[in-house]
Chain A
Amino acid sequence: MRSKNNIIGDIDWVLVLIYMILVSFGLSNIYSSVFDPDHPLLFDLDKEYGKQVMWIGISIFLGFSALLVDGSFIKKNAYWIYGATVLLLVLVLLTKPINGARSWFGFGSFGIQPSEFAKVGISLALAKFISEMGVNVSEFKSKLKIAAILGLPCALVLLQPDAGTFIVFVSFVLVLYREGLSGNVILFGIIAIIVAVITLLVADSSFFFPFTKIKMTGKFGIFIFISLMAGLFSILVKNYVVPRNRKQLYRAIIGGFIVSIVFVNFVEVGYSSILQKHQKERIDLLLGKIVDPNGKGYNINRSKAAIGSAGFFGVGYKESKLANAHQNHVPMHSTDFIFCTWSEERGFLGSSILILIYLTLLIKIISIAERQRSKFTRIYGYSVAGIFFFHVMINIGMAIGLAPVIGIPLPFFSYGGSSMMSFSILLFILIKLDAERKIVLK
């Protein structure tokens, strides 16, 4: 039934090559970013590049180990892996907080972040559940169970708290969409985001009602707008819809009206009263409501300056004037803002090439997922694509000022052992499952 030679032969070497390119680019970039003339050796374990070399070594070891494990073994134990990662998420809550969050298991000068590994667990569990016979994503009961699989780790990372990882977990919506979640849900989500942004923009402001001297809050203005829209739709329905369909549409309008009012209120109250001050500031900064390049907007201003000053070819390798340890203008330049070092030194050319490499990786993963006969592998592949996509989108988007400042790593670039290992494992499990595509029937 299986032959080892055959499996090795079916490994997608292109994907492995992309992985190797990203890892080596990432390492060279960290070397430049935190270069210390007193520790010039790449393998110096006192510096982040030395440690990263170690993490890469461990990650490649783990990745190739994954190739030796049987695909069916992974599939069979998907829930156990999920369970183990969730258990780690529970245990991490019992540790002492570091920088206000319980996200780390510390071992001396090293730390392990279980939320990174949870991505692997969730991906496997989700793939296993949906690929089981008879599960239909559009069924309410299935939806509830999927929500439970996703909801448990989501709740646990929010307790840490770690908003960044939570947002990455949202990427699983892509998988659900691929597997049949109604497009309306996505559309509804997008509309909700637009409404939320508008609400946030006007939440703190007030205005005079046109032609009067009545002063009202922005939220109330939105309520009036929603009411007007509801009225308008009602008139349209009354005049242009055949009577037998009217009742259903009226119900939809009334339902939509109530949901909108509640949602706007929820966003406004959440923003004004529940969010902490620094979270509120991050949203305000992104929306351009506050401009404070030396205070609250310090990070993003420095990040944009580093990237924006690079020109076409960049300032050159290890010539960075802002985003490195020597100059230290861009904070967290080896982790969350690692893209700044790359972009400042390699310019528009290098930045575009990196984005194209990530795009190639994502498209490659989708095409791998799509060629599977096994539903499990396809769902797992989409999970991996979604996770990588969200990381790249939010990390780079943040660095260039298109996304709020959320601290999540750029795959294979940001310094950090947990993320390096979990991204590698995610990818190599996919490579392994893909290598077995010809001998798996389901």
Chain B
Amino acid sequence: MNNFDNRKFVIGFLFILIGVVFIFRLAYMQLIDDQWKDRAAQISENKIITYPARGIVYDRNRKLLIKNQVFYDLLVIPRKVKEIDSFALSNLLGIDIEDYTERMLDAKAYSTRKASIFEKQISPADYEKIGSELYKFPGFIEQERTLRAYPSHVGAHLLGYMNEVNDKDIDKDSYYKSGDYIGRSGIEKQYEQILRGQRGVKYILQDAIGRYTGSYEDGDYDTTAIPGKNIQLGIDLDLQTYGEKLMKNKRGSIVAIEPSTGEILCMISAPSFDPNLLVGRDLGKNYLKLSKDSLKPLLNRAAISSYPPGSTFKLLMSLIALEEGVITERSSFPCTKSLVGCHNHPTALNISDAIKMSCNPYFYYLVKRIIHQGKSSNPFEDAAIGLDILKNHTASFGIGSNLETDIIGMQKGIVPGRVYYDKWYGKNRWMFSTIYSISIGQGEVLVNPIEMANIAAIMANKGYYYHPHFIKSINNNAIPVIFKTKNHTDIKPKHYEKVVEGMARVVNEPGGTARRARMDSVVVCGKTGTAQNPHGEDHSIFIAFAPQDNPQIAISVYIENAGFGGTWAAPIASLMIEQYLNKTISAKSERKEQRILDANLLYVE
């Protein structure tokens, strides 16, 4: 043959060498190196989160307050986008062409084969026009997603809104994953845990373009989503809507409570806004606009403000004086205008007169008797003891201390005590003459509108209250026991009789301070207040309940910088009461209503 026979070994060796190299390479890839297992799982498996429907929120009459609504995300698969009119699409979506280009690049950077979100949360109204044009833009597809909707367009402050979770939320509760939505305020925040339900997880196999091709391990690791619970609030939607209408062009708040349960019937903060503004793709834009508004519509004035209670505070002072025995129902004090200003009125002959006419000097004398009871020979120490007695009594009305509510961000009121004034003036440096302005609800006393409505409820109940709350039922089940428990004030019920009689006369007798709150059909009991404040015109205040027998609604109305309590707050309260009790406004009240609707009480500094 030839001399090259040995070369068969070289060639054979080469074959074996390559075979051995391949087997070693396979051993390394398949048996030692784990990265390809992870990579394969990353490519072929996916975790699909199934989101449960969020709980629906109803009002006391099972009218819808918050529902779920289908919005649309616009997705893009860059590989399939070919020769489309990008200008037309940007116009359709209302975005800049630069923005379009940038989003397209982002989508391509994520994946050219898989769909990524191009425009989020397009509202059904916007989508009507986009959806019908979508066929012109191959590569763009829609995807439904559920967001919240507020069909009645009211109750922005109490219902709250939702937005995407941030890192802090995720740290706090590992349930949340990036991209989830969370209740940010109001009911949405307070009842987040109940409304959100429990999301489910499905592990799936997917193909190269992310399509479902089968379940992973026959679904052994999957969990099903548990829908959120529906809840019912004590809110009366019609009353809430009517209140917001009345409060147009005014600043302030209305809080109404059902005295027999403590359920909040309405909570209005004005100025307000449409809660639907904080849903969908314009959330950020709208939020910014609202937060820059000089009238600060985002503030929930009903919850976070505390105002001087003005003359409404006289109700509490009367009760405390009676309880302490420093006066009787028949005590009379002269209207000495040199001590503290008052208007012209006949002398108050008893406690009921004093309340009806809201006589300031009367209450100067009355509160002086509470403060200086002669419990110490040192007049300074005596004042301190007396003030603490007063403060403890007010605390039993739920002011400044122990209201347990489900209202997000509620600010407690302040009734100053010994500690407060010792710090301010120094120990033994103050007595009644120093702090007398609290007797007419001015000075350092501050009360929150909800606490104020609760005072009206206590008056209606003659001595007890339930913690004011929104929740009425959860999935038709019971609510926390704290909201079902009666709280008694430390004033004996009998003392309420004369005070409530005075409240009835405030509204219904000539010479009462709130004649504008009078109604033919129902006896309204109320008390006006006019709070001086450093921001301009006095705040107009009115608290009331009705009907006098078997009260069904207790209400507090604050109109900032609107003047005398009887002029604005009282008629608004009466219209609210009429709406709630009669479900309609009588022809006779229409003039009153029109006057309120026409009034623009926005105080401009």
Contact = CB atoms under 8 A, between A and B. Distances in A.
Interface of A: 174, 177-180, 293-295, 301-302, 304-312, 321-322, 326-329, 331, 343, 347-348, 351-352, 355-356, 358-359, 362-363, 366, 370, 375, 382, 385, 389, 393, 396-397, 400, 402
B19 interface: yes
Given A309-B36, A327-B44, A355 B22 contact: yes
Interface on chain B toward A: helix, strand, loop, or mixed SS? Answer: helix
Contact of A305 (B3, B31, B43): B43
Given A177-B7, A366-B8, 10 more contacts: A302-B43, A307-B36, A308-B33, A309-B39, A321-B205, A327-B205, A329-B207, A382-B11, A400-B22, A400-B26
Nearest to A356: B19
Interface on chain A toward B: helix, strand, loop, or mixed SS? Answer: helix
Given A301-B39, A308-B37, A402 B31 contact: no
Interface string B252-293: 000000000000000000000000000000000000000000
A352 B44 contact: no
Given A307-B26, A322-B43, A347-B30, A370 B8 contact: yes
Interface in B191-221: 205-208, 213-214
A311 B40 CA distance: 12
Interface in B24-38: 25-27, 29-31, 33, 35-37
A348 B31 contact: yes
B36 A308 contact: yes
Contacts of A351: 23, 26, 30
A389 B16 CA distance: 11
B338 interface: no
Contacts, number: 120
B27 A348 contact: yes
Interface in B1-24: 1-5, 7-8, 10-12, 15-16, 18-19, 21-23
A2 B112 CA distance: 66
Q: Number of contact residues on B: which range applies?
A: 35 or more
B29 A352 contact: no
A7 to B, nearest CB: 24
18 contacts: A311-B30, A311-B31, A322-B40, A322-B44, A327-B205, A327-B206, A327-B213, A343-B26, A348-B26, A355-B22, A355-B26, A358-B19, A366-B15, A393-B18, A396-B22, A400-B25, A400-B29, A402-B22
B41 interface: yes
A363 B37 contact: no
Contacts of B50: none
B111 interface: yes
* 5 smallest beta-carbon distances between A and B, as pairs: A308-B36, A309-B40, A308-B29, A348-B30, A321-B44
A328 B207 contact: yes
A178 B7 contact: yes
A116 to B, nearest CB: 22
B30 A305 contact: no
B389 to A, nearest CB: 76
Which interface residue of A306, A309, A355, A356 has the most chain B CB atoms within 10 A? A309
A312 B2 CA distance: 46
Contacts of B25: 400, 402
A348 B28 CA distance: 10
A295 B12 CA distance: 39
B419 to A, nearest CB: 67
A214 B111 CA distance: 41
A396 B208 CA distance: 22
Contacts of B44: 321-322, 327, 329
